[in-house]
Structure 1
Amino acid sequence: MTPITEVEGRRLALSNLDKVLHPVTGTTKGEVLHYYATVGAVILPHLRDRPVSFLRYPDGPDGQLFFTKNPPPGTPSWVKTTPVPRSEDPRARQVVIEDLASLMWAANLVVEFHTPQWRASSPAVADRLVFDLDPGPPAGVVDCCRVALHLRERLLADGLEAFAKTSGSKGLHLLVPVVPTPSPRVSAYAKELAVEAEAALPGLVTHRMSRALRSGKVFVDHSQNAAAKTTATPYTLRARALPTVSAPVTWEEVEACAAQAGRGAPSRGPGDPFDPAALVLLMGDIAPRLELYGDLLAPLFAPERAGAVP
């Protein structure tokens, strides 16, 4: 029997609550739904007024994964959608998650949430700039932190303030609030900075996507600023063996991580150096961090923190 629950006056059928989705930790679908109910107040501002793309993994990360922009079959009439015309489908629409009921409906489908850098009310006009720092082995998160600090200073020189979050995989994302700017201009500026970073840190950075160029370097992916591209939404769970979250981190944590460059594996006694593994944030880490820090990405919503793209 499928449990029925009521969320903000909407009746939801929640299915397969005992199904294990993250096998390493034994995390069940019911626990995933509880996570989203708990973090609803902080994830919803990052979802509202942005068309959502879903990476669905209904049988866990080892099962079938499929990416969809279209509203899934059976989407309730009360879930908001917005027009997002595409060349292959000029009448296409996408889901917009506006409230807790819609969030829990989507979470029951078992999804990663991905959103663009613009709002549905202003298509292709970005209010965020993003860099996805993706390490090519043997490079790792320590190298990403070094690159993040470089980009932070470079952005600051142009009057732009960056905020960091884990990707939920191997790397970091930098998010920068900007005065609403056409996506092509933001994309061009982001590419300029990625090219500059490669010139400044040639043994550490590549701005090109080619796998052959990425070994031992951090790929500064600027392409997600294109209007058609999306990035993992802050606080979304990722389809990984562990229930990792794409969650904000402090610059102090990034600095402490970067300081481990060249030191090898850290020890684990009193006074030990920062352990880069601390930047792998799991579902259970988020509530305590919210109690400690609140939403570290809240400044993204403060108009006075947004800078003009040069």
Structure 2
Amino acid sequence: MVSSKIMDFNADLVDDLARQKVVLFLGSGVSASCKTRAGQQIRQWEPFLQFAAGKIKDKSLKSLVKQSLEQRDYLMACDLIREALGTEWTDLLKQEYQQVGEPSALHKALVKLEQRIVVTTNFDKLLESAWEQFSGSATHFPQVTTKIDHKAFAALRDVKGKFLIKLHGSIDDPDSMVFTKSDYADRAFGNWAYNEFLRVLLLTHTFLFVGFSMTDPAISLLVEQYAQSFPTARPHYMLVGGKVHDRLIEWNKKLRRLYVLPYKSDNNHAELPRLLTALGKKASERRRELLAASNQA
């Protein structure tokens, strides 16, 4: 049963979906929803770092990495692991994130929302596979961007095109991936295009975060800066599985202009694709209303 608390979707969100003015921002939880052909899930960030840390032979360095992981300083841990493993690091990345997987019901529900711009921090190829399988009558793949520079801004001007922005790179090009503290310093915090592109999107579109925990330092900072600069602007939305404390919901609303939408996380988040499917139906109905009104004008 779909939770009644969320079924009363915000009318602005439905309207923005109908007008293709929503940016679907997808995190590792989306990739975790599917199985690879080997019958496993692609590891999310922390489990992958723990797995990679197990390959380190230097005991003192392994202990330092373990300490960083316990402190949840994943960027530092990642830097240390990459330095310790050398070329084996890239091999591990490819073994994990180049796996072929079967797109999930969640992938299908997201593709069926039919938004122009999808942004993801994931490195894998699952979204591309989902697009091919579930895009219906679409005749072209979305334009995939794996490096955020001036060319990324084409997504803002080409209103007829569809775009998949792989914000932190793609496993097809390991050198493009933003995975360590030094990567963030160079390609996120230190990249004018990265910051400006997301700032413009936050101001001109409504974000719907799915499978994303808002622990990414660059993204959370930009969302907070947006809220401080435009305190009366339209909010953004984040779907979160499980119980969420009311204080946390209010904190996100106040500090980030981010409306947290909780849903039941039982049965491997089975409710999430149902919610998105219901949301997609409401957006389709609204799109038909807008088209009818336009034809009568």
**Superposed pair shares fold, TM > 0.5:** no
Of Structure 1 and Structure 2, the greater strand share is in 1
State the structure with bigger RCO (CA 8 A, min sep 6), 1 or 2.
2
TM-score (normalised: structure 1): 0.26
Of Structure 1 and Structure 2, the greater helix share is in 2
